[in-house]
Amino acid sequence: MKNKTKYFKAAGLLLVIVMLLSLLTACGSAPVVTPTDPSQAPASASRVPAQNTEAPTQSTDPAVRPTASEDPVPVRWAEKMSVRKTESIAQALNASSFDERFLAFLSEHTEGNYMASPLSFRYALGLLLAGANGETKAELLNALGVSSEEEWIASCLDFNGFVEYFASDLEREIAEYQAMQKQGWIPQDSPAPFRALRIANSVWKAERITEDFTAAYRESVEKNYAAEYRYFTPESAVEKINEWADIKTEHMIPKLLPDDYPTTQLAIVLMNALYFKDSWVTSFAEYLTQEGDFHARSGQTTKKDFMTVEDQFSYYEDKDTQLVILPMKGGVSMAFVLGSTEGLAEKISGAGSENVKVTIPKLDLETSFSGGELVNFLKEYGVQLAFDGERADFSAMIDYPVFVSDIIQKTRIKLDEEGVEAAAVTAIMFEECAYIEPQQPKVFTADRPFSFYIYTTCNDTTAILFAGEIVE
């Protein structure tokens, strides 16, 4: 019964949401920024073949419609992507034991609604792995379930490839939208395509530390994670870190650290930010949204705004599980699961196209893991040295004694009739291994009578060369 409750909990809290953000469906290199409107699109997005600027004459005969080659491509693209998305989700859910273990740990140790980002955690851990050496690195690799750092890097590069696909697909859709708008197939006042998927990484160092990051570390994090470098003082750390999180998440997470976060001993910070925004292939009509009862696990009933849509969706049902998959336009989908999530990958693979009436609540959920949950997760899987102030070995990062003192993640999701917007920031905090609070200097002011001696020591015998006393 305990295990079954655990599965129900995971499903009820939309455990799958974040797993879908870690689709590993292509290969590539550095992360790219995806525009959310045509004015931000890359220059190539506006290079549309010459078109007739006059709108075509619209036939009044309902049987007359554009030929196949003139069909609105985004619609055809959505249909074509439907099957591939289902396959991609199944691959993603099978792809990483790390993600599975991480989410299972949080499900077991978290009460109430929550959301997490295994992907954001994965990138931050990549920055950490690159700086670890010796047994410290071996423990991390073992806990993460990979045999080498290269294997971990490869999974991140795979997702970078998906980010590039996501951006190029939007670029293509914007161009097609503009072309069809010129031809008159799309009304001038129709909304432009929008979506975004962005990964950002940064490495921070306290200004008081004169030692710099090693050349090998810089090369690794720049090549594999496109990391940028920032600096802070104890006084500016909270403000600067929060500002970076705010900007990189489009103001979804304006405050990662509380104002009173201790920064006196803070030496290094490794950060990842993940931002995602996309629209449904089949949007929810706002006029169908109604308030209804949500029956909580505790037995209590609360009121929520429920959205409803009916269309062909990938659907699966057995005696333990009911799931539906709602595709979004950029190659990402969102699975909603009722009941057990055991064997979820196989169940998603077995989903078939059905006409489904879907009713789900609107969401605006923010979660903060700042009480040692992520540290405890790594410790449960054998990571000890990284948190040991006397034995941690991060010499591959910097020739300065540091250890991991804290790991924080904050996430937020907004889900409405148009689509999904979600963000995550993960920060790994380092302190100095042998930090000594600077002492106030003693005060010696010779403004009253004093003596002086000029001396030396020969064969353990002190020889006073000169001595005197100043009394006036």
58-72, 118-132, 133-147: segment of lowest average pLDDT: 58-72
Segments making up each domain of the chain, as ranges:
2-47+69-281+363-432
Task: pLDDT band for 14, please (50, 70, 90 cuts).
Answer: very low
pLDDT tens, position by position, 76-105: 323 333 334 444 444 444 446 788 888 888
Q: How confident is the model at residue 326 (pLDDT cuts 50, 70, 90)?
A: confident
The pLDDT tens digits of the residues spanning 266-318 come to 999 999 999 989 898 899 999 999 998 888 878 888 888 988 988 888 888 88
Count CB neighbours of 262 within 10 A. 14
| Residue 176 tokens, joined | 């097609």
Gyration radius of the chain's alpha carbons? 29
| Buried/exposed 421-434: b ≥16 CB within 10 Å, e otherwise | bbbbbbbbbbbbbe
CATH topology of domain 2-47+69-281+363-432: Antithrombin; Chain I, domain 2 (3.30.497)
Please give the pLDDT value at position 183: 87
The pTM (predicted TM-score) of the whole model is 0.75
Average pLDDT for residues 5-33, to the nearest whole number?
A: 40
In percent, the amount of the chain with pLDDT more than 70 equals 71
Q: Could you tell me if 298 and 337 are in contact, meaning their C-beta atoms sit under 8 angstroms apart? A: no
